[in-house]
Amino acid sequence: MIKEKNKEIILSFDLDNTLIDNRDGIIASFNYALNKFSLPKLKNSEIEFMIGTPLDEMFAKVSKQEPSILSSAFREYYGKIGIYQATLLPGIKAKLIELNKLNFTLGIITSKKQEMAEKIVSYLDIDHFFDYIIGETEEIKSLGKLDPKIKEILIKKYQNYKIIIIGDHPKDAMLSNNLNCPFIGVLTGTHTAEELKQIKTNKILIIDSVKELTINKINSLL
Q: How far apart are CA 169 and CA 73, in angstroms?
A: 24
Per-residue pLDDT tens digits of the chain, which is 222 residues long: 567 779 999 999 999 999 999 999 999 999 999 999 999 999 999 999 999 888 999 999 999 999 999 999 999 999 999 999 999 999 999 999 999 999 999 999 999 989 999 999 999 999 999 999 999 888 877 678 999 999 999 999 999 999 999 999 999 999 999 999 999 999 999 999 999 999 998 999 999 999 999 999 999 999
How far apart, in whole angstroms, are the C-alpha atoms of residue 192 and residue 14?
16
The dihedrals phi and psi of 91, each to the nearest 5 degrees, come to: 80, 0
Question: Domains plus CATH for the chain?
Answer: 2-21+87-219 (3.40.50.1000), 23-85 (1.10.150.240)
pLDDT for position 2: 63
Q: Tell me, what's the pLDDT at 1?
A: 53
pLDDT of residue 161: 96
Strand order in the sheet with 9-13: 132-136, 105-113, 9-13, 162-167, 183-186, 204-207
pTM value > 0.75: yes
Contacts for 222 with CB less than 8 Å, ≥ 6 apart: 9, 162, 164, 182
